[in-house]
């Protein structure tokens, strides 16, 4: 079973019956219209991620005592996917080592699992004859600055809810 870990604290299943995690790109990009109307894009840097995690459950998450003034590691629960025409796919270094990388091949319009071997940050998916695309699935591990959690308590249902927002350093 996959487990969310925030700042070394495993979030108990009873704190996260319904859990959602979203990812958003963080980048320094500006678009400028030139005198002739063409659009150009300038980018200073790209490739960082922000994430928001929301959950509710029967008990509090127990993450209030994390030092939010320092970077915190989040071992994410929501997987990311890289799709390629090649069976050799580079995987980001910021990933959970405890979950490994899974692979899929697209054959006749259906995704099927295929074994993966890793060499440092490169996944080699076993070739599937006739496959037109491959996917490498991994779980991010992000070093982030977090905002302290927003928490709710529904006394009618005895449910606790919480949300954190984090941005990769």
Q: Model confidence over 98-154: pLDDT tens digits?
A: 999 999 999 999 999 999 999 999 999 999 999 999 999 999 999 999 999 999 999
Token pair listed for 61: 């998450």
Predicted pLDDT of residue 45: 78
Secondary structure class of 36 (helix, strand, coil): coil
Contact 143, 169 (CB under 8 A): yes
Q: Does position 92 have pLDDT exceeding 80, yes or no?
A: yes
Q: Does position 95 have pLDDT exceeding 90, yes or no?
A: yes
Q: Which pTM value belongs to this model? A: 0.87
Q: How far apart are CA 66 and CA 148, in angstroms?
A: 8
Q: DSSP of 78-115, one letter per residue?
A: S-EEEEESSSEEE--SSB-TTT--EEEEEETTEEEEE-
Predicted pLDDT of residue 29: 86
Q: How many Cβ atoms are within 10 Å of 49's Cβ, its own excluded?
A: 19
Q: How far apart are CA 140 and CA 99, in angstroms?
A: 10
Q: How far apart are CA 164 and CA 169, in angstroms?
A: 16
Tens-digit pLDDT profile for residues 17-57: 899 999 999 988 889 999 999 999 988 877 899 999 999 99
Token pair listed for 27: 């980048």
Average pLDDT over residues 66-87: 97
Q: How far apart are CA 124 and CA 103, in angstroms?
A: 9
């Amino acid at each position: 079973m996959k487990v969310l870990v925030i700042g070394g604290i495993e979030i108990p299943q009873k704190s996260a019956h319904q859990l959602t995690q979203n990812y958003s790109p963080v980048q320094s990009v500006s678009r400028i219209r030139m005198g002739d109307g063409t659009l150009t894009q300038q980018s200073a840097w790209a490739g960082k991620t922000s994430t928001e995690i929301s959950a509710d459950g029967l008990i509090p998450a127990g993450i209030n005592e994390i030092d939010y003034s320092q970077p915190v590691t989040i071992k994410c629960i929501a997987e990311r996917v890289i799709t390629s025409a090649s069976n050799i796919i580079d995987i980001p270094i910021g990933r959970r080592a405890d979950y490994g990388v899974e692979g899929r091949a697209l054959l006749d319009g259906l995704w099927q699992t295929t074994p993966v071997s890793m060499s440092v940050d490169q996944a080699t998916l076993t070739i599937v004859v006739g496959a037109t695309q491959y996917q490498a699935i991994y779980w991010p591990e992000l070093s982030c600055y977090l905002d302290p959690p927003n928490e709710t308590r529904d006394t009618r249902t005895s449910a606790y809810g919480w949300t954190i927002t984090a941005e990769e350093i």
